[in-house]
Every structure is written in structure tokens, then in C-alpha cells.
């Protein structure tokens, strides 16, 4: 794994790249589920990180993934959304938009840090830490096949589906 280390408020960031082994995770998820790297062994999956449920961009991204779920399923690829929201908030989000895929709660931020998406951000001249909208395509062996960083929501799910069609068997 290429280790590009920066210090932000005492946190070490690692930039994961294609060919890296996906870092281990286990998280509580919407609708009483638990999601872990081990439970996904033998399955290709999308792990997408988003800043916060119920915000316009995050809602659109979730709805777009939800609408494309049958296409991902035809290709035997699961979709998992990850944010630092509580499971309760994720349940409300899933219910409101009828999201059938798991929304995982990284409340303590360990998974966001391991995947290098907990970054320093600037908005209107103010600097803060937050989740960088990032998507990983991970194959059935747990290897990162594709990475999208600083995702723009419009057209993103279509691009991911295209990559899945061309990358995952």
C-alpha cells in the first residue's frame, strides 16, 4: 500500500490505491444489520463514503445508488453507504427514501480514517475535518479495483456502474 502520510489533528491519513487490500471494518448498519469486510468475503462491493445523511448531495447520491441497485445486483455487486451518522439517523434516512442497501455507521471515525476519507476541508475560508465523498469498488478477494475521490454526485453512480460492468466478473 502506498503510504502518503499527513498529520491532521493528530490523525494519520493513508491514501488507498488500486491494488491495495481493503482495510478491515465492522460497523453497525441500518435496519439492524452489521457489515464487515469478513461478511463480504467472496462478494464484490461498492463502499461509498458520504458526509451526512439528509443533506441534498448525500440524499441524491443515496437515491441514485438505490435506483441502480437492480443493475448492481445483476452484476453480483453489493452497495454499502458509510457515514459518521448514528444508526438511528441512518434508519430514518433509509426509511424516508426507501433505501434497501445497508447504510453503515462509522460513528467513531475509525473506518473513515483507515480508508483515508477523513480529511481537512475548507469551506468559505474555514478549515475543518470532515468526510471526503469517496467511493471504492472492492472485488471478491477484498482488493481495491477502483477509487473515486472528491466525488461530484451528478453522474457518479452511472460512472461506478460502468466501471463495475468493465471491472468485476
- Work out the average pLDDT over 62-73: 97
What is the C-alpha separation between 29 and 104, in angstroms, rounded?
4
Q: Domain-by-domain residue ranges, the chain?
A: 7-167
Q: Could you tell me which of 67, 11, 38, 65 has the C-alpha nearest to residue 138?
A: 38
The yes-or-no verdict on residue 126 having pLDDT over 80 is yes
- pLDDT, position 4: 36
- Angle of helix 56-74 relative to helix 87-97, nearest 10 degrees? 70
- pLDDT, position 10: 39
b/e 85-94 (16+ beta carbons within 10 angstroms → b):
bebebbbebb
The 10s digit of each residue's pLDDT in 78-111 is 999 999 999 999 999 999 999 999 999 999 999 9
- pLDDT, position 139: 96
The yes-or-no verdict on residue 11 having pLDDT over 50 is no
- The class level of CATH for 7-167 reads alpha beta
C-beta of residue 50 within 8 angstroms of C-beta of residue 61: yes
Confidence of residue 9 (pLDDT cuts 50, 70, 90): very low
Point out the catalytic residue in the list 22, 58, 82, 111.
58
166 is an active site residue: no
Amino acid at each position: 500500500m502506498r503510504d502518503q502520510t499527513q498529520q491532521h489533528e493528530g490523525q494519520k491519513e493513508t491514501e488507498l490505491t488500486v491494488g491495495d487490500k481493503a482495510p478491515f471494518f465492522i460497523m453497525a448498519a441500518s435496519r439492524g444489520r452489521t457489515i464487515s469486510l469478513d461478511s463480504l468475503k467472496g462478494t464484490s462491493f461498492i463502499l461509498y463514503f458520504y458526509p451526512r445523511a439528509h443533506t441534498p448531495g448525500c440524499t441524491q447520491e443515496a437515491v441514485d445508488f438505490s435506483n441502480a441497485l437492480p443493475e448492481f445486483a445483476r452484476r453480483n455487486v453489493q452497495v454499502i453507504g458509510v457515514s459518521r451518522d448514528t444508526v438511528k439517523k441512518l434508519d430514518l434516512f433509509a426509511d424516508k427514501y426507501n433505501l434497501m442497501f445497508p447504510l453503515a455507521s462509522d460513528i467513531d471515525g475509525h473506518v473513515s480514517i483507515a480508508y483515508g476519507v477523513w480529511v481537512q476541508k475548507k469551506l468559505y475560508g474555514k478549515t475543518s475535518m470532515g468526510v471526503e465523498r469517496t467511493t471504492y469498488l472492492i472485488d471478491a478477494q477484498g482488493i481495491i479495483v477502483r477509487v473515486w475521490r472528491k466525488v461530484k454526485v451528478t453522474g457518479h453512480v452511472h460512472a461506478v456502474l460502468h466501471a463495475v460492468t468493465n471491472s468485476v466478473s
